[in-house]
Structures are given as structure tokens and as C-alpha cells.
Amino acid sequence: MRNLIVNYRKLPERIMHSLQTKYPDGFDHDTFEFELPGKQIICRALRISVDGVNYLIKLEQRPKRTDFLLDEDW
């Protein structure tokens, strides 16, 4: 099987149609987040398999926030 990473805005029509038939009520509950290696970016994505190809569809990106815990004595 082939594995492809595709941006949601650049999806082919047949994949978009497959998403609409598989998730008629939306796919927010099936998404997941991952961090891009070497970058401070978190991506939200969705997986779908169509015609022997595994697609990882990137939905949105956001910068990684690092919350620093401050010591009270600082």
C-alpha cells in the first residue's frame, strides 16, 4: 500500500467524495494531533484509506506552545 500525506485544501475530488460518504456527520471525533519533527508545529490530521492508498490528510497547523512552570521563588 502507498502512504500519502495531503493537505485538505489540495484533496482530489474522489477523496473528498470518499470523506463525505464515510463521515456524513463530520470527522472531528476521528482526528488526531502530531508534532512535526524538528519544528515547533502541531498538526491536526485524519486518516483514510481509498483504493489501496493510505492518506494522511493534514487539516490545520498551529504553533506549539510551551508553558513554563515558574517557581514561586523566582
| 70 pLDDT tier (thresholds 50, 70, 90) | low
Say what percent of the chain tops pLDDT 70: 88
| 17 pLDDT tier (thresholds 50, 70, 90) | very high
Pairing of the two strands 2-7 and 53-63: parallel
Whether the pLDDT of residue 7 is over 90: the answer is: yes
pLDDT mean over 17-28: 91
Indicate the pTM of the whole model: 0.76
Instruction: Write down the number of H helices and E strands in the chain.
Output: 1, 4
| 65 pLDDT tier (thresholds 50, 70, 90) | confident
3-state secondary structure of 69: coil
